Amino acid sequence: MTTPANTPPATTGVALPPGAGRRIVGGGLDATVKVGSDREPFASTFEVVVPPGYDVGAHVHHHGEEVFYVLQGRLDVLAFEPVDRSMPDWHEWESADGQRYLSGGPGAFLHVPPGVPHAFANTSGATTRVFFQSSVPGGHDNYFDELAEVLRAGAGHPDPAAVTDLRRRYDIEQLTSLRAPG
């Protein structure tokens, strides 16, 4: 990953107390940036609060990878190439070898290599907290800032064209719809 213009090389690490970091909130998105694109990281690092009803929608990053680790609550997760990408609900997807999505609680882990379709959703009635890292080009903190604006503007029903445009600029091919609680 290249260093953003005018960003000096990091000369110290990052040590933060619980709850510290830059918070990005809007339209169901609640992420606290722990390490962002301002520090030339190998990956942007976050603590993300996923509210009940939030579904990021299945998507693909062609040049970056991601890691998710459930800290609290439950999350439905998927990371495989489905037999049929055209099915509108990724919960119905199945891989060629019969794999389906996983619903996991604390300790559930997901690694997504570049080019692999993936998704997550909170279908429970309680808030979920997730440790999340993304090496997607452009800095995922910048993406989250812009996504929060799109979600706020849509009041829980984001404009599909705005989401598609945003994701295209951040190497994200959207396969199924994003749904935010509203």
Question: In the prediction, which pLDDT does 3 show?
Answer: 42
* Cβ neighbours of 140 (radius 10 Å): 28
Question: In the prediction, which pLDDT does 7 show?
Answer: 52
> Quick one: how far is CA 13 from the chain centroid?
24
Give the bridge partners for 130, in sequence order.
Answer: 48, 70
- Structure token pair of residue 122: 């909170």
> What residue spans define the domains of the chain?
24-174
Give the bridge partners for 75, in sequence order.
Answer: 104
For the chain (182 residues), the mean pLDDT of every run of 10, in chain order, is 49 82 80 75 83 93 92 96 96 97 96 95 95 81 85 79 86 86 72
Strand positions, DSSP E, the chain: 22-26, 29-35, 44-50, 59-61, 66-72, 75-79, 102-104, 109-112, 118-121, 128-134, 172-174
CATH architecture of 24-174: Sandwich (2.60)
DSSP secondary structure code for residue 155 in this structure: T
Question: In the prediction, which pLDDT does 17 show?
Answer: 83
Question: In the prediction, which pLDDT does 1 show?
Answer: 36
- Structure token pair of residue 127: 């808030």
